[in-house]
Amino acid sequence: MKKFKTRELVIIAILASFAGVLMFPAFEIIVPFAPPDIYKLDFSEIPVLIGAFAISPIAGVAIEAVKIIIALIIKGGSITMGVGEIANFLIGVSFVVPASIIYHKHKTRKNALIGMIVGTISIMVVGAALNAFVLLPVYAYFFKIDVSVLIGMGSGVNSSVNNLFTFIFLITVPFNLMKGVIISVIVLLIYKRISMLIKAKDSIE
């Protein structure tokens, strides 16, 4: 386990707090091609990715974990017993870890961009698998409904959705693609200033 310096621990705590707040419903955005009862876009990965770039991939995982804990405490849990939050953690980690590993090999704008492209592909794959085999079935279980009801919600926004396969590839995958692109663009635009503000040892050139 990596030992963080005091300054790094403070940065992790601050960024995790921001990320936790960004998980609030007030900061979530409904997207037109996804059922709002299942998917809403949040920007909580922005502070996580900034921390992973500024400190290390392990710091990114730590920020992601603390973010989820903060969100659970403030929101008081959920009807799915935190399953959605755990999925958020796993999908978030699948984005920030590959992105930050690639960036830390050579800290340039090009590597940051490559890392975020790889991270975006990663969340598309991991998100598809998690939703197909874990998240949607568990949601259906807790709400005491059949998965077909959730698929019906998908059909309500996209008539081409008629089974789990089409739900994943016409809703889940595009949703995570959009999320990865938006987070990447925002971080690419603001990281240099933020890294200077938190006195990181580097910034994207």
Secondary structure string (H, E, C) spanning 50-101 = HHHHHCCHHHHHHHHHHHHHHHHHHHCCCCCCCHHHHHHHHHHHHHHHHHHH
195 — pLDDT class (breaks 50, 70, 90): confident
Closest CA to 52 of 98, 121, 86, 111: 98
CA atoms of 113 and 63, how far apart (whole Å): 21
Measured over the CA atoms of residue 57, residue 59, residue 63 and residue 64, the dihedral's sign is: positive
Whether residue 119 is predicted with pLDDT greater than 90 in this model: the reply is yes
Q: Span 164-192, mean pLDDT? A: 95
Report the alpha-carbon distance of residue 70 to residue 111 in Å, rounded: 31
- Cβ-contact 18, 66 below 8 angstroms: no
Rounded CA gap, 74 and 62, in Å? 18
- Which range has the worst mean pLDDT, 108-112, 181-185, 189-193, 201-205? 201-205
Give every CB contact of residue 34 below 8 A, 6+ residues apart in sequence. 154, 157, 171, 174, 175
Contact in structure between 111 and 102 (CB atoms under 8 Å): yes
Confidence (pLDDT) at 1: 43
**Would you say residue 140 has pLDDT above 80?**
yes
pLDDT score for 81:
59
**What is the pLDDT, as a whole number, of residue 144?**
85
Q: Is 108 left (phi over 0), alpha (psi -120 to 50) or beta?
A: beta
* Of 57, 115, 64, 58, residue with least CA distance to 86: 64
Can you read off the two tokens belonging to residue 144? 């005491």
Taking residues 166-175, report their average pLDDT. 96
Mean pLDDT of 115-124: 97
How do residues 18-74 score in pLDDT, each as one tens digit? 999 998 888 889 999 999 878 889 999 999 999 999 999 999 999 999 999 988 887
Per-residue pLDDT band for 77 (boundaries 50, 70, 90) equals: low
CB 26 within 8 Å of CB 42: no
* Tens-digit pLDDT profile for residues 26-37: 888 999 999 987
pLDDT at residue 2 greater than cutoff 80:
no
Above 80 in pLDDT, residue 82? no
Beta-bridge partner residues of 29: 41
Domain 6-27+38-197 has CATH 3.40.50.300: no
Distance of CA 193 to the CA centre of its chain: 22
What are the boundaries of each domain within the chain? Answer: 6-27+38-197
